[in-house]
Each structure stands twice: as C-alpha cells, then as structure tokens.
Structure 1
Amino acid sequence: MLLFIGRRLLVAIPTVILISIFVFFLQKLLPGDPVLALAGEDRNPEILEYLREKYRLNDPLYVQYFQWIGNALRGDLGISLRTQQPVLELIGEKLPVTLQLAVMALVFAMVIGIPAGVISAYYKGTWIDWVANVIALSGLSVPNFWLGIMMILLVSVNLGWLPASGYRPFSDDPLQSIRTMLMPAFVLGTAIAATLMRHTRSAMLSVLQSDYVRTARAKGLREKVVVLRHALKNALVPVVTVITLLFGELLAGAVLTEQIFTIPGFGKLVVDAVFNRDYAVVQGIVLCTAITFILMNILADALYRVLNPRIGAP
C-alpha cells in the first residue's frame, strides 16, 4: 500500500507543476492592473512605479513564476495586496469555514443519496424507482443559486426558522454555527446527493444480481439481512471512493453558495480577490484547492484498494 501511495504521489508531482504554470500565467491574462487597484484614486506615477518594484511586477513573467513557485515550496504563498496579510494565513482563516460547510453538505448528501439509491435499486422498475430517479434528476438540474434563494425566502423570510445569512464560528457557539450552516449545507448537498443516489443505485443493481446474494436468499436469510448486510456492504465499495472525490469537489465548488449565504469561506475570499486583482490570493487558493483535490484522488484510490484488495493486485 505504501508503495502504491508513493507511486501516485510521484505521478502527482508533474500534475501539480502543470497546474501551477496554468494558475500563474492564466492569472496574468485577467484584465486590469493590480497596482492601479491598490493605489486607488492616488495614481502618482512615482508611487505606481514604487509598487511595481516592491512587488517585482516589472520582472519578466518567467522570473516572477520561478520566484513564486520557489517561495511556495518553502510555504510562502506571498502577501495579499489588499490586506497585507500572508496568503497562507488568510487560507488558514477561511479553510475551517469551508471545511465545515463541505462536511455538513456531505452528511446531507449521504443521508439522502445512499438510502434513496438502495430503495431505488431494490424496487427497480416500480413507481418508487421512477420517483427516486425523477428526484435525483431534479437535484442535478436545479442550480444551487436558485435553490439557495428559494430556501432563504421560504425557511428564513416566511417561516423564520433559520438565519438567512451570516456565519458563527463553531468554537464560539456550536449550536448557532450549525444553524447558520444548515441551509447552505443542504443546498450544496442536494446535487451531491443526486450523484450518490445514481452511483449507489447502479452498484446495488449489480450486486443484487450476484451469485452470493442468491445464495444468501436460498439459505433462508431475511430480506433485510440480505440487502443491508450482504448487498449494501459490497455495493458501498465504489460509492466510498466516489464520496472521497465528491468531498474534494465540495471544497472547490462552494463559491456561489458561500456568496448567497454570506459565508466568509474560500468562495467569498476568491471572489473578493478576483475583483480586487489580488493575484497572490487567487493563485494561492487555486493552487491549494488543486493540491487538495489531487490528494483526495489518491485517498480514493487507496480506499478502493483497502476495501477491495483484489483491485490492482498483481
């Protein structure tokens, strides 16, 4: 297993290098000048030249790239042009927020998606299967921003059950923190739940037709035991790896949801950084997100090998 993980990490190195090149040079194609945004209304040529020299923006692009990637390898992702804070410090402040949102969304997705997939597969071809598939298709089709707005209107404005926006750190008030995260986590988890439902249904349909399930039924075991203990246990092998990959997507794809519910996580940070031409922050967030997603892929492959050692065995 360690050899397998080591090989995957070696393969990931050139991937990270390519990602860093794309992140750096595509960022430079964005319209606008970060120095002008930083200077504000006072655009004295001497001040502008001083800022460009200070942040080494007059250097050739390849020199800027090697300086940036060299500092990144030492744990220095640069300084925010707007707040003058280290980018790594900003990421450390926002990561727990997005992490909490992603974990809660994944919980919603698993609670909804996996049981729905099992029921849909067991009642294949019936109206229950049809309804489950329609709901799953709806979850994949409805945009998160529209569902978020509708949830705010219904749950917060009309019913007053949950706060419409804002965030309370979990360490300050755990109960209030969970209440503020319930709606955005549900909105973010619906599409993931639909994906999980489809994967679970497909895996269960395959497992329910296998020989060992027929043998278990022939032994006279209760149908509940056959489905949950024998079929579901084996059907969850590919589903667990999918969950790992979906968690990486949640960390990277919560931008719109965080904006709608005014959650100060990765999404709001990257949107503000793009509008302010804060290149260092955007580059740092995208690079960290890409590395996280690569690590999630490696973890998914490792879990697959652990749950089913026959896969990839020599």
Structure 2
Amino acid sequence: MLSFILRRLAIAVPTLILVSVFVFTLQKLLPGDPALILAGEDRDPAAIEFVREKYHLNEPIITQYAYWVQGVVQGDMGVSLRTNQPVLTLIGDKLPVTIQLAAMALIIAFVIGVPAGILSAVKKGTAIDYAANIVALSGLSIPNFWLGIMLILLVSVQLGWLPASGYESPFVDPLRSLETMIMPAFVLGTALAATLMRHTRSAMLGVLKADYVRTARAKGIREVPVILKHAFRNALLPIVTLTALLFGELLGGAVLTEQIFTIPGFGKLIVDAVFTRDYAVVQGVVLCAAAGVILVNLVADVLYFVVNPRMRASL
C-alpha cells in the first residue's frame, strides 16, 4: 500500500512542478503591466521603478520564477498586488466556499445520477431507460450559465423562494448558507448527475451479465438484494473513481457558476485577479487548484486500490 502511494506521489510532484512552470510563464504573455496599475493614475516613473524592484518585475523571468518557488516552498505565495493581502490568506478565505459548493453539487449529482443509472440498467430497453438517457443527455447539453440564469428568474425573481445571489458561511447561519448555495449547487450537480448516470448505467450493464449475478438469482434471492448487494457493489469501482475526479474538477471549474450567483469562491477570485493583472493571486489560485486536482486523483487511486482486491493481489 505504501509503495503504491509513493509511486503515485513520484508522478504527482513532477506534474505539480510542470503546472507551476506553465502558469508562471504563460501569464506573462497577458497584455498589461502590473507595475503601471500599482503606480496609480499619475504613474510617476520613480513609483513604477520602485514597484518593479519590490516585486522583482524587472528581473528575468527565470529569476522571478525562482523567487516565487522559493517563497512557495517556505509557505509564502506572495502578496496580492491589488489588495496588498497575503495570497495564502485570500485562498484560505475563498477555498472553503468552493469546497462547500463542490461538495453540495457532488451530493446532488450522486443522489440523482446513481439511482437513475441503476434503474436505467435494470430496465434496459424500456421507456424508463429511454427517459433516463434523454434526461442525462439534456443535463450534459444545457449550459450551466443558461440554467443558472433561468433558475434565478424563476425561483428568485418570479417565486421569491431563494436569494438570487450572495453567500453566508454555514458557521454563521446554516439555513441562510443552504439557501444561498442550493441553486448554484443544483446547476453544477445536474451536469455531473448526467455523467454519473451514464457511467453507472454502463457499469451496471456489465455487472448484471456476470455469472455470480445469475447464480444469485438462481438461488432465489430477491431482485432488490441482487441488484444492490451483488451487482452494485461490484459496479462501484468506476463510480468511486469518477466521483473523486469530478470533485477535483469542481474545485477549479465552477468559475461561471460562481460569477452568476456572486459566490466569493475560487472562481470569482481568479477572474478578478486576471482582470487586474494580479499575478501573485493568479499563480497561487491555479497552483492550489492543480494541487487539489492532483490530491483528489491520488485519493481516487487509493480508493480504487482499497476496493479492488485484484489490484492488491497484483502488487
């Protein structure tokens, strides 16, 4: 088990280093000079030069990258050029918001997608199967931003059931937090539910043809225990892996949804940073999002190792 994790870490560390190089170098291609923005409207040459020296903007790009990596290793991702706050502080404030949104979206996706996939596989070729596939295809086809706007117009503007935007911490007001997050989580969760449904259906169709399922039915075991205990347990392998990967995708992929519902998470933070040429924040957010995706991939590999006895036997 330990050797398996170490091998995955040996792949994860170079990947993270490669991501940091790409993030640091590619953002330098963005138009605009952060020194001019920080120098103010007067743009005094002395102030511009001071800013460039302070943030090493007048150094070669390799030297700037070395300064940044040295700080990251020491737990310092720099200071925001716009707010003058430490990047780690900003990330610490925004990361729990995005994690809450991603977790709620994943719960909604799991509750909708997995039962629909099981039912579609069991009722293959029937009207239920076709209906589930149509709904799944619709979930994959409808853009998140359009669904979000339609929900705001219907649920918030017309019916007045939920707030159209904003955020409240669950530690301050749990009910208010749920009210502000349920619509954006539903928007993200429906698309993920469609993906989970398709993968669950595919996995269940393969398992339902297995010999041990036919044997269980031949023994007179009722259909529900056969489906849930014998078939679904063995179909969980790809579903567990996919769920972990989808959670990693949500950590960095909820930008549009957070913008539409004005949720102060990772998405809004990085959009604001890109528009203001706040390089330190862009680098820190993207690096943390990449580290989160890599970590979730590692967790998915470990879970697959735990639930798959054949994989453990091969080591």
TM-score by length of 1: 0.99
Offset at residue 228 of structure 1 (A):
1.1
Instruction: Write the letter of the residue equivalent to 1:33.
Output: D
1-side partners of 2:195 and 2:64: how far apart? 41
Offset at residue 237 of structure 1 (A):
1.7
Q: Which residue of 2 aligns with 1:174?
A: 174
Q: Which residue of 1 aligns with 2:20?
A: 20
Offset at residue 138 of structure 1 (A):
0.8
2-side partners of 1:255 and 1:294: how far apart? 19
Instruction: Write the letter of the residue equivalent to 2:171.
Output: S
Q: Which residue of 2 aligns with 1:200?
A: 200
For each residue in 1:245-265, what CA deviation from the matched residue of structure 2 results, as whole angstroms up to 9, or x when unmatched?
100001110100000000000
Q: Which residue of 2 aligns with 1:275?
A: 275
2-side partners of 1:195 and 1:70: how far apart? 40
Greater Cα offset, 40-49 or 57-66: 40-49
User: What pairs with 1:1-314 in structure 2 (closer than 5 Å)?
Assistant: 1-311=1-311, 313-314=314-315
2-side partners of 1:247 and 1:11: how far apart? 20
1-side partners of 2:14 and 2:237: how far apart? 29
How many pairs are equivalent? 314
2-side partners of 1:72 and 1:222: how far apart? 57
For each residue in 1:119-147, what CA deviation from the matched residue of structure 2 results, as whole angstroms up to 9, or x when unmatched?
01001111111111111111111110000
Instruction: Write the letter of the residue equivalent to 2:226.
Output: V
1-side partners of 2:39 and 2:272: how far apart? 17
For each residue in 1:87-141, what CA deviation from the matched residue of structure 2 results, as whole angstroms up to 9, or x when unmatched?
0110000001011100000000000000000001001111111111111111111
2-side partners of 1:150 and 1:235: how far apart? 35
For each residue in 1:182-229, what CA deviation from the matched residue of structure 2 results, as whole angstroms up to 9, or x when unmatched?
000000111111110011000000000000000000000111111111
Offset at residue 40 of structure 1 (A):
3.1
Greater than 3 Å deviation, 4+ residue runs: none
2-side partners of 1:16 and 1:154: how far apart? 42
Instruction: Write the letter of the residue equivalent to 1:168.
Output: E
2-side partners of 1:44 and 1:250: how far apart? 43
Name the SS of the counterpart of 1:59 in structure 2. coil
Name the SS of the counterpart of 1:26 in structure 2. helix
For each residue in 1:60-91, what CA deviation from the matched residue of structure 2 results, as whole angstroms up to 9, or x when unmatched?
10000011111111111100001111101100
Name the SS of the counterpart of 2:269 in structure 1. helix
Instruction: Write the letter of the residue equivalent to 1:212.
Output: Y
Gapped runs of 5+ residues in structure 1?
A: none
For each residue in 1:154-190, what CA deviation from the matched residue of structure 2 results, as whole angstroms up to 9, or x when unmatched?
1111111111000011111001101100000000111
2-side partners of 1:182 and 1:5: how far apart? 36
TM-score by length of 2: 0.98
Offset at residue 309 of structure 1 (A):
2.0
Instruction: Write the letter of the residue equivalent to 2:17.
Output: I
Name the SS of the counterpart of 1:40 in structure 2. coil
Instruction: Write the letter of the residue equivalent to 1:271.
Output: V
Name the SS of the counterpart of 1:310 in structure 2. helix
Instruction: Write the letter of the residue equivalent to 1:261.
Output: F
1-side partners of 2:18 and 2:237: how far apart? 31
Name the SS of the counterpart of 1:170 in structure 2. coil
For each residue in 1:254-285, what CA deviation from the matched residue of structure 2 results, as whole angstroms up to 9, or x when unmatched?
10000000000001100000001000000000
Offset at residue 233 of structure 1 (A):
1.2
Offset at residue 10 of structure 1 (A):
1.2
Gapped runs of 5+ residues in structure 2?
A: none
Offset at residue 39 of structure 1 (A):
2.4
Offset at residue 311 of structure 1 (A):
2.2
Name the SS of the counterpart of 1:311 in structure 2. helix
